[in-house]
Chains A and B, each alone.
Chain A
Amino acid sequence: MSFVGNSNDAMATPVAISVASPGDYIALLKPRVMSLVVFTALTGLLIAPHPVNPVVGFASLLAIAVGAGASGALNMWYDADIDAVMQRTCRRPIPTGKITGQEALAFGLTLAFLAVFTLGVVANWLAAALLAFTISFYVVVYTMWLKRATPQNIVIGGAAGAFPPIVGYVAATGEPSLACLILFAIIFVWTPPHFWALALVRAGDYHRAGIPMMPNVKGADHTRLEILLYSLVLAPLGVAPFLLGIASPVYGVLSVTLGAVFIAFAFRVYRVRTGPQADRNCKKFFGFSILYLFLLFAELLSERVITLIMGMLR
């Protein structure tokens, strides 16, 4: 909130006291990103070999979600200048003046501390350290450094979005394993083509904001090629949980099918380069990429839930 130092001035002019609602603070947490983090962290938490206490699992998940929200608030604090000039982000609480940058900074730091502390107390301190690393990686390495410096911003910065399954798994077991590293790798390789499809459509927005996204720096054709190459790596990587015995043959069939469709969508993005159809292909690819990740993780999650229920019924 903004406070008024001199009440005489305050009487003379309309005072800048906050009219931000709780909803505006929730918007700072980027709820849609949070829901994806919760979903992938839950998968990491449940693929652990031994079932975690439900209360501890719920509290751990909540801490990871709040940590993700804190990252979002700190990202909005630092990026308020570029958010204001981008069509997609100009209605966020800081550009619209509902919340000041200082308030967002204080809110984000408080939540980050609470999230890390809570995860350390309820789960273990390795998971808490990983959460702290994830938050600082997203805020310092991605937001403050890479985002405005290199077209590889989303490649390296994407690691922050790939960490939640590891944090979830470590919260449950106390140590990482190959299973959660595979989930990390899938999200890590999935992130660049997913965001580049959006960047192709919104290249003008990123250009206005001065963000060196791949289409603005290397050109649209090069970006389309990179999308295709990443998709060719992602499709077999998506099958890895089945090949390594982490998931069932049902997952194997699903991941092969979805991977083939993913490559087909990427090929269409690569082939059609101009006109409204090119934009439509990018939007379709962007939408399908979300569905791809959701279905893979939902399948892993449901397999594990079914196994746990069967175990309880025996």
Chain B
Amino acid sequence: MSVDKDMQGVTLTPEQQKSRRQRNIAIGLAVGFFVLLFYVVTIAKLGPGVLRSPM
């Protein structure tokens, strides 16, 4: 009985599920924006040189 309960873990309430989902989306968007920001800054700092290949 106790083992079964352990296996089931914690059951989230609908409110907890909703807030967790919102937090996950917010973290995802923030990480995506951070990656995009560094990409754009890299291009901006390198300038036209970014297209010149050493080969």
* A contact residues vs B (CB 8 Å cutoff): 1, 4, 7-8, 10-11, 15, 17-22, 25, 53, 55-56, 59, 62, 114, 118, 121-122
Contact = CB atoms under 8 A, between A and B. Distances in A.
Which are the 8 A-B pairs with shortest beta-carbon distances?
Answer: A55-B44, A22-B26, A19-B19, A10-B10, A17-B16, A122-B41, A59-B41, A7-B9
A1 B27 CA distance: 13
A20 B8 CA distance: 24
B37 interface: yes
A21 B37 contact: no
B12 interface: yes
Interface string B1-17: 01001101110100110
A55 B22 contact: no
A56 B41 CA distance: 6
Given A22-B22, A59-B37, A7 B45 contact: no
Interface in B18-32: 19-20, 22-23, 25-26
Contacts of A62: 37
Contact of A55 (B16, B25, B40): B40
Interface of B: 2, 5-6, 8-10, 12, 15-16, 19-20, 22-23, 25-26, 34, 37-38, 40-41, 43-45
A1 B16 CA distance: 11
**Contact residues of B: prevailing secondary structure:** helix
Contact of B26 (A8, A17, A25): A25
B37 to A, nearest CB: 6
B41 A15 contact: no
Given A25-B26, A55-B40, A56-B44, A15 B2 contact: no
Nearest to A62: B37
27 contacts: A1-B20, A1-B23, A7-B8, A7-B10, A8-B2, A8-B6, A11-B8, A17-B12, A17-B16, A17-B20, A18-B20, A18-B23, A19-B16, A20-B19, A20-B23, A21-B22, A21-B23, A22-B23, A25-B26, A55-B40, A55-B41, A55-B44, A56-B44, A59-B41, A114-B34, A122-B41, A122-B45
Contacts of A122: 41, 45
Nearest to A63: B37
> A15, A19, A59, A114 — which one has the most chain B CB atoms within 10 A of its CB?
A19
B45 to A, nearest CB: 7
